[in-house]
């Protein structure tokens, strides 16, 4: 019997060691080394033809390189294409991460069903029947989508040779295992090996591969960090599971900007693309309610109008409570301190609750002025008119600071029918004949003077 070769892998960063040690010397985490069996045989992973011996790469001048093959395949979904930078690049490997139950399988199955190409959807998590049930809800008459339940990569390649799909989707990389490594599915060495086989397949055949990846409890994609380096694009699907909105972000993209963002709504019949997110994020109540203000924010390259709700009440317990949903509580405390010290509002003995509607979270400083306006509106119990919005950061001295790309925010507010937008006096604005009233302010007191 051949000698079994084992190696110790750090479950955090994927570093390899010949011997066990308490601390990983690469990422400095303790107790993360786990022994895994690795067997080095001559590998038969994905192989079409062995071109490596015939073809050796030659350096070319940038002008000489043929740039014409970079044709992108449209996924049939505007939001998905936008996040990828204009469609799927042939031969690229995309990794989609997200919390359990957020809708990763739903998103990719939906894309697979709508694609105008031959697609192979490989699932190691659900049976063909279960997938069929889901597909029936989403888009029952797809012609070109093949479903396979398999976890062994060698069997998947056998099927690929028969079907010759234009796109391969794997749900999920953690369930795959290759014959050439002994350790169990989901272990670091299996994930690394299966991914590198799939990358080889993608690059040799020009077939794009989309992988689903599980994430760990602190939000990173499970498996070695090197996984994220190996693939071309890393996408993250996120959102609050209690809400219907989901956001698709790109964390890394070799073929486009990472600033783009896709928004979806989870319905009974799958995910719906939300092409005008500002409309859904502003609740449409008829009456004027105190404690709400609208912020003109930017998520990536996209302007987004977001409603901020605040509730200020007298503290029942000795220590006042400060609770936020979708907003950093430290930032809220800072803004409250500024209001107390610079604008003379006595909020120290009050409970303050803050909520960003729609279940999304925002950490852009441009939301500051809307937060302050919502707090003051609740504190004074005076509603802010519905057609007013805000886009400015607040500094520690109570000064109103400019925000980036203010013109884009103003134009979005104008398009959505707002009559007034508050911005910092220091922002330079070159919009000719704006229909919206642009109020430039430099101190919190100025805003208070206008509003109440």
Binding site for Mg ion (CB under 5 A): 105
Is 449 marked as binding a ligand? Answer: no
**Is residue 270 near ligand TYD by the rule CB under 6 A?**
yes
Cβ atoms 8, 17 nearer than 8 A: yes
CB of 233 to ligand TYD, least distance (A): 18
Is 45 marked as binding a ligand? Answer: no
Instruction: List C-alpha distances in Å: 399 to 94, 365, 392.
Output: 44, 13, 10
What are residue 269's phi and psi, to 5 degrees? -110, 40
**Is residue 105 near ligand TYD by the rule CB under 6 A?**
yes
C-alpha to C-alpha distance for 203 and 158, rounded to whole angstroms: 18
C-alpha to C-alpha distance for 48 and 161, rounded to whole angstroms: 9
CB of 237 to ligand TYD, least distance (A): 7
C-alpha to C-alpha distance for 148 and 175, rounded to whole angstroms: 13
* Position with the least CB separation from Mg ion: 105
What count of Cα atoms within 13 Å lies in the side-chain half-sphere of residue 236? 17
What's the start-to-end Cα distance of the chain, in Å? 84
Tokens of 193: 């090996």
Nearest alpha carbon to residue 183 among 430, 396, 346, 4: 4
Instruction: Using the minimum distance from each CB to Mg ion, give the nearer residue, 14 or 103.
Output: 103
Q: Element (H or E) spanning 107, and its range? A: helix 104-114
Is 126 marked as binding a ligand? Answer: no
Cβ atoms 320, 352 nearer than 8 A: yes
Binds ligand TYD by CB under 6 A, chosen from 22, 101, 162, 318: 101
> In 10 A of CB 304, how many CB atoms?
21
**Is residue 134 near ligand TYD by the rule CB under 6 A?**
yes
**Is residue 59 near ligand TYD by the rule CB under 6 A?**
no
Instruction: Using the minimum distance from each CB to Mg ion, give the nearer residue, 105 or 187.
Output: 105
Instruction: Using the minimum distance from each CB to ligand TYD, give the nearer residue, 28 or 132.
Output: 132
Is 219 marked as binding a ligand? Answer: no
**Is residue 97 near ligand TYD by the rule CB under 6 A?**
no
Region from 94-102, 142-150, 386-394, 444-452 binding ligand TYD, contact rule CB under 6 A: 94-102
Q: Show contacts with ligand TYD in window 247-266 (CB under 6 A).
A: 266
Cβ atoms 376, 388 nearer than 8 A: no
Q: What is the DSSP letter of 364?
A: -
**Is residue 92 near ligand TYD by the rule CB under 6 A?**
no
Cβ atoms 312, 290 nearer than 8 A: no
Binds ligand TYD by CB under 6 A, chosen from 14, 85, 98, 262: 98
CB of 227 to ligand TYD, least distance (A): 18
CB of 137 to ligand TYD, least distance (A): 5
Instruction: Using the minimum distance from each CB to ligand TYD, give the nearer residue, 98 or 165.
Output: 98
Binds ligand TYD by CB under 6 A, chosen from 28, 44, 47, 137: 137
**Which residues are annotated binding-site positions for ATP?**
98-105
Q: Which residues in this chain contact ligand TYD in the complex, by CB under 6 A?
A: 98, 100-106, 134, 137, 266, 268-270
């Amino acid at each position: 019997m051949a000698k079994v070769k084992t190696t110790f892998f750090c479950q955090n960063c994927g570093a390899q060691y010949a011997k066990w040690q308490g601390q990983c010397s690469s990422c400095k985490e303790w107790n993360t080394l786990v022994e895994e069996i690795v067997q080095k045989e001559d590998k038969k992973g994905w192989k079409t033809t062995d071109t490596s011996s015939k073809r050796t790469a030659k350096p070319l001048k940038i002008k000489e390189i043929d740039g014409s093959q970079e044709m992108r395949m449209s996924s049939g979904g505007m939001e998905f294409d936008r996040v990828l930078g204009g469609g799927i690049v042939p031969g690229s490997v995309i990794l989609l991460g997200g919390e359990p139950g957020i809708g990763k399988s739903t998103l990719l199955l939906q894309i697979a069903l709508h694609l105008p190409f031959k697609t192979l959807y490989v699932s190691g998590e659900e049976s063909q029947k279960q997938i069929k049930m889901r597909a029936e809800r989403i888009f029952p008459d797809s012609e070109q989508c093949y479903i396979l339940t398999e976890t062994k990569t060698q069997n998947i390649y056998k099927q690929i040779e028969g079907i010759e799909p234009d796109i391969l989707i794997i749900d999920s990389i953690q369930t795959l295992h290759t014959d050439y490594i002994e350790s169990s599915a989901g272990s670091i060495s299996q994930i690394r090996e299966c991914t590198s086989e799939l990358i080889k397949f993608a690059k040799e055949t020009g077939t794009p591969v989309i992988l689903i990846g599980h994430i760990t409890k602190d939000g990173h994609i499970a498996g070695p960090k090197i996984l994220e380096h190996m693939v071309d694009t890393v996408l993250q699907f996120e959102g609050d599971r209690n809400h219907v909105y989901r956001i698709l972000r790109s964390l890394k993209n070799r073929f486009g900007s990472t600033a783009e963002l896709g928004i979806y709504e989870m319905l009974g019949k799958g995910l719906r693309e939300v092409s005008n997110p500002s409309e859904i994020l502003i609740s449409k109540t008829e009456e004027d309610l105190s404690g709400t203000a609208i912020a003109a924010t930017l998520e990536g390259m996209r302007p987004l109008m977001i409603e901020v709700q605040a509730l200020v009440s007298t503290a029942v317990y000795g220590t006042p409570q400060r609770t936020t949903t979708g907003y950093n509580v430290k930032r809220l405390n800072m803004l409250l301190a500024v209001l107390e010290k610079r604008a003379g509002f006595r909020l120290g003995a009050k409970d303050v609750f803050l909520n960003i509607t729609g279940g999304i979270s925002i950490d852009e400083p441009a939301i500051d002025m809307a937060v302050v306006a919502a707090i003051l509106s609740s504190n004074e119990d005076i509603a802010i008119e519905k057609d007013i919005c805000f886009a400015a950061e607040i500094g520690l001295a109570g000064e109103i600071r400019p925000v980036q790309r203010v013109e884009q925010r103003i134009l979005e507010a104008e398009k959505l029918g707002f009559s007034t937008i508050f911005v910092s006096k220091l922002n330079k604005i070159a919009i000719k004949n704006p229909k919206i009233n642009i109020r430039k302010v430099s101190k919190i007191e100025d805003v208070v003077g206008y509003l109440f």
